C-alpha cells in the first residue's frame, strides 16, 4: 500500500498552534540566545526505553557499586554529556504514555495517540484506511531522501514500537507480522511492520538493522535457524530475511554474534541482524544464549562503522529496549543491568565518533514507577534492604523495619507483579515474553518477611504497592543528555516532539526535500 510522499503537507495537529509550529518556535527561541555552531554531519539518537530519572540514578549507583565504590558519586557515560533538558512525555490521548506515541514524537516532531506509529493524532487506533492517508514523515525517511545513511539498533524486536516508529506508519503497534493484522486490513493489503521495514524505500533504504524479532520475518513453514523446534509467524509464505538479501549483491543477514564478528563490513552495504525469534535476551542473561548474542555496545559499534562509510553522514537510532521489560516484570536487577549495558553502548559510540561533527542525543521515551526511598546509609547496596543511620549519623548494624516489624528494600514499584514480594520465582520463558521472570498469580495480605531473602539475586522481584500482572509506565518528565553540534539546543523543559526539531535544526535542514533542500 502506497503512503503519501514526503513532500505532501500533512494537516496541522490538534495541539495549540500545531506540533510542528510549536517545535520550530521553541528551537528558534533557544537558538536566538545560543551561539550557532556548524551543522552536524551525523546524529545518533539513543533511547533508553523506560529509562526514567529514577532508573538512571539507581543504575548509576549500581554501576559504581559493581566497581567496588559506594556508587552515589558515580556517573553513567551519558551523564557526562554537557547539555541537558527535560521532556514532557504525554500522548495526545493519554497522561501516562506508551512507547509508540512517544517514539513517534521523537522522530517526527508530532505528538500523537498511544499505540500508533508515525501517523497523526486524527487517526483512531486500528483504522488502517485513515492511517494510509495520514502518515508523518520520519527523521529516517527524510535522512534517506537527502542521501544520508540510516540505521536502527535495538535489544527488542526490530518490529517493536520504538524501532518501528522510525520506518513504519501503522494505526496499531501490534501489527508486527501479517498474522497480527485484522481481517479488513489484511484484505486491503495493508503492510505489517516487518514488511514495512523490508519495503522501506526512502532513498536506498535502511543500511543497517540489528536486534531481535526473527519470527516476524519468517513464514510459519520455516524452522528458526537457532531453535529448530520453533517456526516463523508469517502466514503469507514470504521469507522477508531472504527478501532483504535480494536487495543487492552486498546485502547481508546474520543471526549470531559469531556471524556478526565474521562480517567484512567493507563488502556490505545493507546489513540485517536478527539475533532472536522475539526480543533479545536481557543483558544479565545474554551469556546463556545458545548461539551467542552480541551486546548492545557491539551492535552499536558495528552499525557506526558501517554507516561511517557513507559520504554524506548518517542518522542512527540505538534503543536499550529491555530496560522497559525488566521494569514491567518488577525486576530492578534486570532493568538496571540493561541500563548499564545501554550506557556502555553510549560510551562505545562516543569513542568512535567526533563530537565536532556528530550530535549525540540520549533520552528515554517514558519513565516507570520505580522509587528510591527509605533513608539508606551512604553506599548501601542499591538492590539491598534499607540499612539507615543511627542517632550519631553512622550506619546501623541491622536493616530498618517498617511499622509491622519487617525490613524493606530501597527500590520498589508503585504497581506490578511484585506485590506479593515473591523472591522464590525463577526465570522462565513464555513464548510471548521470553526470558522474563514469572510473577505471582495469587495475592496475599501483608508484606513478606525479607529478613533471610537475597534481594540482590537476579530473580528477586521488588515489591509493588498495587498488584498488577505487569508494572506500568510512569508519567513524569524524562531527561535528555546531548553533546556535539546542536547539543546547546537541549535545555529547559520541552515537549518530547521538540527533540526532532532540535535534531533537524542541528543538521541544518531548513525545508522538506521536495522544497529543494
Q: Are 377 and 352 in contact (CB under 8 A)?
A: no
Q: Are 467 and 446 in contact (CB under 8 A)?
A: no
Could you give the residue ranges of the DSSP H alpha helices within 84-239?
Answer: 99-108, 128-133, 139-145, 161-167, 183-187, 193-198
Burial 323-339 (b: 16+ CB within 10 A, else e): bbbbbbbbbbbbbbbbb
Sequence-separated (6 or more) residues with CB below 8 Å from residue 161: 98, 99, 100, 103, 117, 173
Burial 195-216 (b: 16+ CB within 10 A, else e): bbbbebebbebbbbbbbbbbbb
Q: Are 138 and 108 in contact (CB under 8 A)?
A: yes
User: How many residues are given for the chain?
Assistant: 517
Cell of residue 334, nine digits: 534486570
Q: Are 193 and 175 in contact (CB under 8 A)?
A: yes
Q: C-alpha distances in angstroms, 312 versus 1, 308, 461, 513?
A: 30, 9, 47, 15
User: Percent helix, strand and coil across the chain, each rounded to 5?
Assistant: 30, 20, 50
- The angle formed by the CA atoms of residues 380, 382 and 386, to the nearest 5 degrees, is 55
Query: Choosing from 54, 77, 99, 331, which is the catalytic residue?
Result: 99
Phi and psi based region of residue 46 (left: phi greater than 0; alpha: psi -120 to 50; beta: remaining):
beta
Cell of residue 72, nine digits: 552515589
d(CA 462, CA 125): 33
Phi, psi of 345 (to 5 degrees): -65, -40
Phi and psi based region of residue 203 (left: phi greater than 0; alpha: psi -120 to 50; beta: remaining):
left
Cell of residue 177, nine digits: 507480522
Q: C-alpha distances in angstroms, 188 versus 3, 86, 234, 240?
A: 14, 41, 17, 20
Q: Tell me the three-class secondary structure of 414-430, residue by residue.
A: EEEHHHHCCCCCCEECC
Cell of residue 130, nine digits: 485513515
Q: Clarify whether 395 is annotated catalytic.
A: no
Query: Shortest CA distance to 153 belongs to which of 441, 310, 345, 377?
Result: 345
Residues carrying an active site annotation: 99
Amino acid at each position: 500500500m502506497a503512503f503519501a510522499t514526503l513532500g505532501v503537507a500533512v494537516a496541522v495537529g490538534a495541539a495549540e498552534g500545531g506540533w510542528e509550529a510549536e517545535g520550530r518556535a521553541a528551537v528558534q527561541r533557544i537558538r536566538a540566545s545560543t551561539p550557532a555552531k556548524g551543522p552536524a554531519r551525523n546524529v545518533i539518537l539513543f533511547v533508553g526505553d523506560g529509562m526514567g530519572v529514577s532508573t538512571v540514578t539507581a543504575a548509576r549507583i549500581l554501576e559504581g557499586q559493581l566497581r567496588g565504590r559506594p556508587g552515589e558519586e558515580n556517573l553513567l557515560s551519558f551523564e557526562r554529556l554537557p547539555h541537558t533538558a527535560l521532556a514532557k512525555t504525554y500522548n495526545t490521548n493519554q497522561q501516562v504514555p506508551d512507547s509508540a506515541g512517544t517514539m513517534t514524537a521523537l522522530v517526527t516532531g508530532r505528538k500523537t495517540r498511544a499505540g500508533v506509529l508515525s501517523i497523526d493524532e486524527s487517526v483512531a487506533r486500528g483504522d488502517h484506511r485513515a492511517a494510509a492517508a495520514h502518515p508523518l514523515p520520519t527523521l529516517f525517511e527524510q535522512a534517506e531522501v537527502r542521501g544520508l545513511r540510516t540505521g536502527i539498533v535495538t535489544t527488542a524486536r526490530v518490529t517493536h514500537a520504538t524501532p518501528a516508529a522510525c520506518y513504519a506508519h501503522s494505526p496499531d503497534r501490534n501489527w508486527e507480522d501479517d498474522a497480527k493484522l485484522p481481517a479488513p486490513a489484511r484484505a486491503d493489503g495493508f503492510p505489517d511492520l516487518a514488511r514495512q521495514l523490508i519495503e522501506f524505500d526512502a532513498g536506498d533504504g535502511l543500511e543497517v538493522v540489528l536486534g531481535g524479532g526473527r519470527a516476524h520475518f519468517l513464514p510459519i513453514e520455516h524452522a528458526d535457524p537457532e531453535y529448530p523446534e520453533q517456526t516463523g509467524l508469517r502466514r503469507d509464505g514470504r521469507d522477508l530475511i531472504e527478501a532483504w538479501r535480494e536487495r543487492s549483491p552486498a546485502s547481508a543477514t546474520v543471526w549470531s554474534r559469531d556471524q556478526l564478528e565474521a562480517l567484512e563490513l567493507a563488502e556490505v552495504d545493507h546489513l540485517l541482524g536478527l539475533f532472536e525469534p522475539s526480543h533479545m535476551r536481557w543483558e544479565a542473561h545474554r551469556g546463556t544464549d545458545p548461539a551467542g548474542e552480541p551486546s548492545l555496545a557491539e551492535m552499536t559499534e558495528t552499525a557506526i562503522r558501517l554507516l561511517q562509510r557513507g559520504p554524506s553522514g548518517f542518522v542512527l537510532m540505538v534503543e536499550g529496549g529491555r530496560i522497559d521489560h525488566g521494569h514491567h516484570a518488577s525486576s530492578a536487577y534486570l532493568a538496571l543491568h540493561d541500563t548499564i549495558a545501554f550506557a556502555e553502548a553510549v560510551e562505545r559510540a562516543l569513542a568512535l565518533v567526533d563530537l565536532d561533527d556528530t550530535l549525540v542525543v540520549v533520552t528515554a521515551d517514558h519513565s516507570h514507577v520505580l522509587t528510591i526511598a527509605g533513608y539508606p546509609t551512604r553506599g548501601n547496596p542499591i538492590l539491598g534492604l534499607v540499612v539507615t543511620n543511627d542517632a550519631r549519623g553512622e550506619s546501623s548494624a541491622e536493616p530498618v523495619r517498617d511499622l509491622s516489624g519487617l525490613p524493606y528494600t530501597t527500590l520498589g514499584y508503585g504497581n506490578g507483579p511484585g506485590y506479593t514480594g515473591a523472591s522464590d520465582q525463577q526465570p522462565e520463558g513464555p513464548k510471548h515474553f521470553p526470558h522474563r521472570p514469572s510473577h505471582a498469580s495469587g495475592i496475599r495480605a501483608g508484606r513478606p518477611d525479607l529478613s533471610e531473602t537475597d534481594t540482590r539475586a537476579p530473580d528477586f522481584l521488588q515489591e509493588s504497592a498495587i498488584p498488577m500482572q505487569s508494572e506500568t509506565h510512569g508519567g513524569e518528565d524524562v531527561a535528555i543528555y546531548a553533546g556535539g553540534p546542536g547539543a546547546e539546543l537541549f535545555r529547559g523543559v520541552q515537549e518530547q516532539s521538540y527533540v526532532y526539531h532540535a535534531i533537524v535544526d542541528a543538521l541544518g535542514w531548513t525545508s522538506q526535500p521536495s522544497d529543494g533542500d
